[in-house]
Amino acid sequence: MITGKEDMLQALIEAYIMEKGTNNFYIQAAVKARNEEAKKTFGELSAWEGRHMEYIQFLYQSIQGDRDMSSFEEFKKRIPAPLVEGAIPVKGLEEKLEDYTFVDDLGALILALEIEGKAYSLYRKLSESAEDSNAGIIFKDMMEQEQMHIDYLRDMRLKLAETS
C-alpha cells in the first residue's frame, strides 16, 4: 500500500500498479456495459490509464538508465494489480460490476468520477506528505493528471444532462 514514505522509484512502481489496476478495471467495465456510450466512456478511460502506465514506465526507465525494455515488459506481465487509483481494492469494484450493469452513460460517469476523485485525493495527500521530494513531484504530477480526468468527466456529465 502506498504511504508517502516511498522513494522516487518505489513511488513510480506503486503508481504503476494502481494505474494498471484501473486500466484493467475499465477494460472489464467496458465489456460489462450494455450501452454503447458507456462502453465508449470506459474504453476512453482505459486508454488514458494505458498512457499513464507508459508515462510512468518512461520515467522509471529514464531514472534507472534502463534501456532494456524486456526487463520492464516482464515486470508489467508479472506484477499483480490489486488496487485501482485511489488505493481502491479491485475486488470491491469487480463486485460492483457483478451487481450493477451500466445501462447508460450516466452510471459509467458516476463510477468513473468516484474512482478518479479518490485517486486525486490520494495523490494530493501523498504529494503533500512525501518524504522524498522527487516522489512528491511525481505524486503531484499524477494528481494533476487525475484532475484533467475529473474535468473531462464533469464536462461529459454536463453534456449528458443537456441532452436528457
Q: How many domains does the chain have?
A: 1
- Assess if residue 36 is contained within a domain: yes
Residue the block writes with cell 529514464: 62
- Assess if residue 47 is contained within a domain: yes
Q: Output the domain CATH number for residue 145.
A: 1.20.1260.10
- Assess if residue 3 is contained within a domain: no
103: confidence class by pLDDT, cuts 50, 70, 90: low
17: confidence class by pLDDT, cuts 50, 70, 90: confident
More confident residue, 83 or 37: 37
Is the confidence at residue 27, as pLDDT, over 80? yes
- Assess if residue 58 is contained within a domain: yes
- Assess if residue 2 is contained within a domain: no
Confidence at residue 26, expressed as pLDDT on a 0 to 100 scale: 85
Supply the range of the domain harboring residue 113: 8-163
What pLDDT digit, counting tens, does each position of 52-73 carry?
888 888 888 887 776 555 666 7
- Assess if residue 1 is contained within a domain: no
C-alpha cell at 56: 510512468
Quote the mean pLDDT of the chain.
77
Question: What's the rounded mean pLDDT across residues 74-103?
Answer: 61
Residue-by-residue DSSP string for 17-41: HHHHHHHHHHHHHHHH--SHHHHHH
- Assess if residue 109 is contained within a domain: yes
Cβ contacts of residue 37 below 8 Å, gap of 6+? 104, 105, 108
